[in-house]
C-alpha cells in the first residue's frame, strides 16, 4: 500500500505501518497532554500502541489460518482504523473462508482469557467505560478493547470478519458471486442504519457507516472481477496495438509520441522484440523538466511485471497489483513482447462481460 513502510517480517509476512498511523499517535498524545501533561500523553501513546499490537496479532491469526490452506499473506498494514491483512487470494470453499475469518477474532478472545487469568477474573463493566482515561487500570482497559474488537469484527458486513463469515455461510446454499452480492447488500443496509443512528449525536457511527458501505462495495466489485477473469488467460485481455520506443530514443521522441497517439505509457523494446521497460507519461514529463529533451528513455523507464500469454488472467492481475499499483503488465511469448494488460483493459473487460 502506498504511503506505508515495513517495520518487520513474521514468517514471510511483512508488517507495514501507514504514515497516517503516526498522525493517530500524535493526536492521542496531544489530546492526553492537554488533560494531564506529559505523563498522560506517554501513557496514552503506550496504551494505543499496545492496542495495535493486539491488532497485529489479530491479523497474524488470519495469516496463520490462511497458511494452513496454502494461502500466503504478503503483508499486513496498520492503519488508524485497524489492520489489513492482504491474502494472495480469498478461498472460495466456504468452510475455509469461515476458518480464516474467525481466526482473527479468536486471537482477541485468547487475549481476553489471558488478561482475565492475570487479573484474577473478568474486569468490571465500569473499567470498560474508562478506556480513554490514562489513569485507569491498564490491563482492564486492554481487556475491554479486545472484547470490543471481537464484537466489532463480527458485525455481519464487509470488510469485517463477520461479513466474510456471512458470505461463506450464504455460499453454502448459493454461488460464491451471488453470496457476495447478497452479503454486500446486507452490509450496505446495515451501513444505512448506522449512518441514520449516527445523526443523533454519534458521529463515530457515521464514520463506521461510510467504512462499511465502501468495504461492501469494494468486496462486491472484487468478486465481480474474480468471476469475470476466472476462466480467462492473459491474451484474452491484452492490448496488442500499441507504439513502442527503442531503448536508444530520447524523451523528446517520447513526448512527440505522447502527443501523437492516445497512449499514456510506452513499452521500450529492443530490436529483437524484448521488452526493456515501460516509459510512463509522468516519467516523460519529469525527465523533460529535470534532464531535458535529450535524456535517453532508458534512463527514465521503469521495470514492470511480465507474464506469459497463457498465464491465467487472475495471476496477471495479481502481478498488476503486487508491490503497489503498476501501470501495466507485459505479456510475452518466447521472450518477445506481444501485448500489454492495463487497468483500462480490465475495466473494458468488466463492462463487456460483467
Domain 234-353 indexed as CATH 3.10.580.10 = yes
Is beta strand 4-10 parallel, antiparallel or unpaired with respect to 336-341? unpaired
Question: What is the model's pLDDT at position 96?
Answer: 92
Active-site residue, 59 included? yes
Can you tell me the distance from the alpha carbon of 125 to that of 333, in angstroms, rounded to the nearest whole number? 65
Instruction: Determine the Cα–Cα distance for residues 352 and 349; give it in Å rounded to an integer.
Output: 5
How many Å apart are CA 155 and CA 55, to the nearest integer? Answer: 17
Which grid coordinates are listed for 306? 511480465
Is 32 one of the annotated binding-site residues? no
Other CB atoms within a 10 A radius of the CB of residue 49 amount to 12
Separation between Cα atoms, residue 230 and residue 314, nearest integer Å: 7
Q: What is the C-alpha to C-alpha distance for residues 88 and 25, in angstroms, rounded to an integer?
A: 30
The reported pTM is: 0.71
Do the Cβ atoms of 185 and 166 come closer than 8 Å?
Answer: no
Question: 266: closest CA among 211, 180, 342?
Answer: 342
* pLDDT by 10s per residue, the chain, length 354: 566 677 788 888 888 887 777 777 777 777 777 777 777 778 777 888 888 888 889 999 999 999 998 888 888 887 777 778 888 777 878 899 999 999 999 999 999 999 999 888 888 777 666 666 666 677 888 888 899 889 988 988 887 889 889 989 998 888 878 888 888 888 889 889 988 888 887 777 887 888 788 888 887 877 777 777 777 888 888 888 888 899 889 889 989 988 998 888 899 988 888 889 889 888 899 999 988 888 888 888 888 888 888 888 877 777 776 655 678 888 988 889 998 888 887 778 777 765
Nearest to 307 by CA among 292, 317, 321, 295: 317
**Do the annotations mark residue 282 as ligand-binding?**
no
pLDDT value at residue 133: 66
* 313 within 8 A of 229, measured Cβ to Cβ: yes
Task: Give me the residue spans of the domains in the chain.
Answer: 1-154, 163-230, 234-353
Look up cell 518487520; give the residue. 8
Amino acid at each position: 500500500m502506498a504511503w506505508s513502510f515495513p517495520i518487520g517480517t513474521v514468517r514471510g509476512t511483512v508488517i507495514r505501518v501507514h504514515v497516517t498511523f503516526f498522525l493517530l499517535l500524535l493526536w492521542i498524545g496531544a489530546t492526553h497532554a492537554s488533560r494531564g501533561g506529559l505523563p498522560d500523553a506517554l501513557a496514552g501513546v503506550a496504551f494505543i500502541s499496545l492496542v495495535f499490537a493486539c491488532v497485529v496479532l489479530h491479523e497474524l491469526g488470519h495469516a496463520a489460518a490462511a497458511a494452513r490452506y496454502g494461502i500466503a499473506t504478503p503483508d499486513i498494514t496498520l492503519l488508524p482504523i485497524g489492520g489489513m491483512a492482504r491474502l494472495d487470494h480469498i478461498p472460495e470453499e466456504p468452510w475455509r473462508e469461515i476458518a480464516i475469518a474467525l481466526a482473527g477474532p479468536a486471537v482477541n478472545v485468547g487475549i481476553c482469557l489471558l488478561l482475565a487469568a492475570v487479573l484474577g477474573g473478568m474486569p468490571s463493566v465500569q473499567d470498560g467505560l474508562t478506556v480513554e482515561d490514562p489513569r485507569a487500570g491498564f490491563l482492564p482497559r486492554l481487556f475491554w478493547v479486545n472484547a470490543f474488537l471481537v464484537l466489532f469484527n463480527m458485525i455481519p458486513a464487509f470488510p469485517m470478519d463477520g461479513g466474510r463469515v456471512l458470505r461463506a455461510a450464504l455460499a453454502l446454499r448459493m454461488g460464491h458471486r451471488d453470496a457476495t452480492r447478497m452479503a454486500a447488500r446486507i452490509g450496505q443496509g446495515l451501513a444505512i442504519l448506522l449512518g441514520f443512528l449516527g445523526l443523533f449525536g454519534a458521529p463515530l457511527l457515521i464514520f463506521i457507516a461510510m467504512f462499511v458501505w465502501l468495504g461492501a462495495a469494494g468486496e462486491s466489485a472484487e468478486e465481480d472481477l474474480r468471476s469475470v477473469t476466472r476462466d480467462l488467460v492473459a491474451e484474452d485481455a491484452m492490448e496488442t496495438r500499441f507504439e513502442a520506443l527503442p531503448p536508444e530514443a530520447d524523451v523528446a521522441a517520447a513526448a512527440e509520441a505522447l502527443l501523437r497517439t492516445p497512449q499514456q505509457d510506452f513499452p521500450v523494446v529492443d530490436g529483437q522484440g524484448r521488452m526493456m521497460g515501460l516509459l510512463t507519461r509522468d516519467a516523460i514529463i519529469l525527465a523533460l523538466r529535470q534532464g531535458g529533451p535529450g535524456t535517453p528513455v532508458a534512463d527514465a523507464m521503469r521495470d514492470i511485471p511480465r507474464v506469459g500469454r497463457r498465464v491465467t488472467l487472475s495471476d496477471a492481475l495479481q502481478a498488476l497489483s503486487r508491490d503497489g499499483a503498476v501501470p501495466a503488465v507485459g505479456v510475452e511469448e518466447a521472450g518477445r513482447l506481444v501485448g500489454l494488460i492495463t487497468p483500462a483493459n480490465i475495466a473494458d473487460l468488466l463492462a463487456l462481460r460483467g
